[in-house]
Amino acid sequence: MYRLLIIDDEPFIADSLFSLFDNLESMELEVYKAYSARQALHILQKHRVDIVLSDISMPNIDGLELQQILSDKWPAAKVIFLTAYNDFNFAQQAIRHNVVDYILKTEPEQTIIQSIEKTIHLLEEESMNKELLENFKSEKNKYLPLIQKEFIQDLLNGLHMNETNLNQQFKELHLPFSAYSKVIILLLREDNVNSHLPYYIKKENLLKIQKIVHRFIHKKLACYSFQSNSRYQTYIIQHAHDDDYTYLYETLDVIQKSIYNTLNIKISFFLGTDYVSWDQIYAYHQEFMSCFVHEFGAAKYCIVTDKNGMKQPDTLHKNLLKKHREINQRMSMYILDQNQEAFNPLYQQLKSDIIGNMDLPYPIYIQFLHDFSNMLITHLNQYQLYHKSDYNMYIKKLVNLTKMGSLEDIFLTFDEVIEVIFKGFSNNQDDQSDKTIALVNDYIINHLDGDTSLSTISHVLNYNASYLSRLYKTHTGQKLSEYIADLKLNKAKELLRNHQIKINKITKAIGFETPSYFTRFFKNKTGLTPQAYRDKW
């Protein structure tokens, strides 16, 4: 839906054009009007406007000056000028100011309607961003490293994908990995950071370090790296042969020396000794980073592995808990967005992780289940589903998980509650939508003789105009403008059958500014003028 602002210092013209476009069913427009440039500026301060249909010659501020102000406030807005004079100089200036059209007031209404249609088409073309997309395609390689980095970081932050989808992503992003093979995590730390170096020199050094590391590793191994923070780099490495780990481990001291000899920078390495699956990479990366920072933070110019560290036995469990709390947060957001399609894979991942980790310490295992259960209870209450007949039963089960017979019973309860939440939210939304539609209809019926424009209705009911228009069409199958037009037509027919009521009064009773616009509206709908219709009765 687009917003049209009509400006003319002759109220008759502004009112007539407002009535024309506000009742025009062929376009979905939110229409505003102003009788002066100053009134228009007041509207422009409060509302985005897409199209301005303005008299070019007005007192105090003319159309060209207003267009300059408009271009600063709403640069994407389009301007169509109306004028009573065929002034070539004005037309030239208008074209220079990137005005879409220049129309004489003596031209028929259809010309103005066609100009608005042309402008809407222009706005729609611009909204498609064709030029931007074409440029993006041609410059795709520029953005690829950034997308690659974000994808790898998402994996390290707990993103879960099945092997088929993961492998497809690797191919599309030109990452040198297979989803079916495990990986090794290697961390690098710059030990002697010179805080006095300019920022760009520090960044250059980090990039040079990465180049040197890759020069050695890429000889035998698939590798991707990124800067974890100002001192640390993460390397994800995938082997091809059984002896590749030995090659990697034995090459690290060579890399150390090469970096020191080339850049005079001392670095340390932390190398995982186990190959880990892509599902495990989140927990292991968290553990390794914590160990490298806290247990080997003071060590300089060293090469250590996770076997060297004083590894706490529950570190992986804590990281797994952290991962699942983050997943719960994402699932909660998907419930709020009513995106069950995105919710379901995360829920299946939760199931797999719990079933696949039955050897977890009992408190950790129970914490997994209760975290998820509490999230479901929150949403049951948030959507006011406590009026449901089985609400108390579900709450009782979710609070007393350990009293259920088996893990299968627990997940069956989770499945049922998830279904209730998604369906319940949808039903609540429908109820709220029905109430909103009823409020709109009541307002129109009670104000048929006044302003029933979309902008006024949305303002009175405190809704966004575009949202209200979409909601009405979705839930009734009819445009709001069509409903208003039908009401006005039926009311007009009813009043016309009473020969005692003058047509001028009928015009005002159904909210038209002038008899001529009422006549045009009525004839367009019935094929008869109001008087001809009355004469039949």
The mean per-residue pLDDT over the stretch 430-444 comes to: 85
20 vs 33: CA distance, rounded Å? 12
Contacts 24+ apart (CB under 8 A), 250-254: 251/216, 251/217, 252/303, 253/303, 254/216
Across 333-342, b (16+ Cβ under 10 Å) vs e yields ebbeeeebee
Q: What angle do CA 351, 352, 355 make, to 5 degrees?
A: 85
Q: Average pLDDT of 83-95?
A: 62
Q: Which of 210-214, 225-229, 314-318 shows the lowest per-residue confidence on average (mean pLDDT)?
A: 314-318
Tell whether the torsion through CA atoms of 146, 151, 156 and 157 is positive or negative: positive
Residues 463, 178: Cα–Cα separation, whole Å: 50
Q: What is the pLDDT of residue 317?
A: 62
Which of 510, 517, 511, 515 minimizes the C-alpha distance to 493? Answer: 510
Residue 448 DSSP symbol: T
- Checking if the pLDDT of 336 tops 90, the result is no
Enumerate long-range contacts of 430-438, CB under 8 Å, 24 or more apart: 433/471, 433/474, 433/475, 434/475, 436/461, 436/463, 436/468, 436/471, 437/471, 437/472, 437/475, 437/476
pLDDT digits (tens, 9 = 90+) for 125-173: 887 776 666 666 667 777 888 899 999 988 887 787 889 999 999 999 9
Report the range of poorest mean pLDDT among 71-80, 345-354, 402-411.
Answer: 402-411
- What is the spatial distance between Cα 221 and Cα 245, in angstroms, rounded to a whole number? 9
Q: What is the pLDDT of residue 390?
A: 66
Tokens at 423, concatenated:
């369906």
- Token pair 């013209």: residue: 13
Residue 309 has pLDDT above 80, yes or no: no
pLDDT band for position 313 (cuts 50, 70, 90): very low
**Tell me: the pLDDT tens digits for 163-221?**
999 999 999 999 999 999 999 999 999 998 788 889 889 899 999 999 999 999 988 89
CA-only gyration radius of the chain, Å: 34
Report the pLDDT averaged over residues 52-57. Answer: 89
pLDDT at 362 over 50: yes
pLDDT for residue 427: 60
CA distance 109 to 89: 24
The pLDDT value recorded for residue 315 is 54
Name the token pair of 170. 């690797």
Q: What is the mean pLDDT of the chain?
A: 84
Residue 339 has pLDDT above 90, yes or no: no
Q: By the 8 A CB rule, do 222 and 182 touch?
A: no
DSSP line for 342-355: HHHHHHHHHHHHHH
* pLDDT above 80 (res 329): yes
Helix, strand, coil shares, percent, the chain, to 5 = 60, 10, 30
For the beta carbon of residue 356, count every other beta carbon within 10 angstroms. 10
Distance CA 48, CA 53 (A): 14
| Inter-residue contact 77 to 70 (CB < 8 Å) | yes
